[in-house]
């Protein structure tokens, strides 16, 4: 146990010396860097000499890492959080009174219209790619729920509901139209 304590202390001393080296400017950092790496090497040599080559290297790396982590954690500086305005990746829709037709249209876009658009993309993939029929069917079927989820998320988060409607109708026409041109 004494040897492990000495190895850990050597790792901590090496980490502290390297930390001091990184904070020092100019030619004063060279002695601290050398001292830090020398402490690491001495701790490694002590572990190998007492515990053997295999176990000693393992114990030395483990204890030196833990000691270095403790040195870094001791220098942790907690800063005050600055208040900034919220910049969310998914901002909330604009707060406005909803009308019955907007609610119904959002429900239709997130539900059946989004499903038809996703099916159009899946069938388009199925008809226009090469490979075995079974593979295309499986991949086309796996594309549908992912695209449907994307359609739901987009239509429910977008403020401009008519833009989402036009886009999804265009995707349906594109997917099914090109699929009918090629055929299966």
Domain ranges across the chain: 2-74, 101-182
* Interval 96-115 mean pLDDT: 85
Of the chain, the percentage scoring pLDDT greater than 90 comes to 45
Q: What is the pTM of this model?
A: 0.49
pLDDT at 2 over 70: yes
- The CB-based long-range contact list for 12-21 (8 Å cut-off, 24+ gap) reads 12/67, 12/68, 12/70, 12/71, 13/39, 14/38, 14/39, 14/40, 14/43, 14/64, 14/67, 14/68, 15/64, 15/67, 15/68, 15/71, 15/72, 16/71, 19/71, 19/72, 19/75
* Tens digit of each residue's pLDDT (9 = 90 or more) over 167-181: 999 999 999 999 998
* Tens digit of each residue's pLDDT (9 = 90 or more) over 40-50: 999 999 999 99
Question: How confident is the model at residue 184, as a pLDDT?
Answer: 60
* Tens digit of each residue's pLDDT (9 = 90 or more) over 61-92: 999 999 999 988 888 777 777 776 666 665 55
CA–CA separation, 134 vs 28, rounded Å? 69
Question: Would you give the DSSP letter of residue 140?
Answer: H
Considering the chain, what is the average pLDDT of its residues?
A: 86
pLDDT at 114 over 60: yes
Question: How confident is the model at residue 84, as a pLDDT?
Answer: 67
């Amino acid at each position: 146990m004494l040897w492990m304590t000495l190895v850990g202390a050597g790792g901590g001393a090496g980490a502290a010396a390297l930390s001091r080296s990184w904070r020092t400017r100019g030619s004063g950092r060279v002695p601290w860097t050398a001292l830090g790496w020398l402490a690491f090497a001495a701790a490694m040599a002590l572990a190998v000499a007492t515990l053997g080559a295999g176990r000693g290297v393992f114990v030395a790396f483990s204890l030196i890492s833990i000691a270095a982590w403790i040195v870094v954690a001791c220098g942790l500086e907690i800063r005050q959080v600055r208040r900034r305005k919220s910049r969310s990746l998914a901002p909330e829709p604009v707060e406005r009174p909803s009308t019955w037709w907007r609610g119904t249209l959002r429900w239709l876009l997130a539900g059946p219209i989004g499903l038809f658009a996703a099916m159009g993309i899946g069938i388009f993939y199925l008809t226009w790619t090469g490979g075995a029929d079974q593979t295309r069917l499986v991949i086309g079927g796996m594309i549908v729920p992912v695209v449907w989820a994307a359609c739901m998320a987009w239509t429910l988060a977008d403020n401009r509901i008519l833009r989402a409607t036009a886009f999804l109708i265009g995707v349906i026409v594109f997917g099914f139209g090109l699929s009918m041109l090629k055929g299966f």
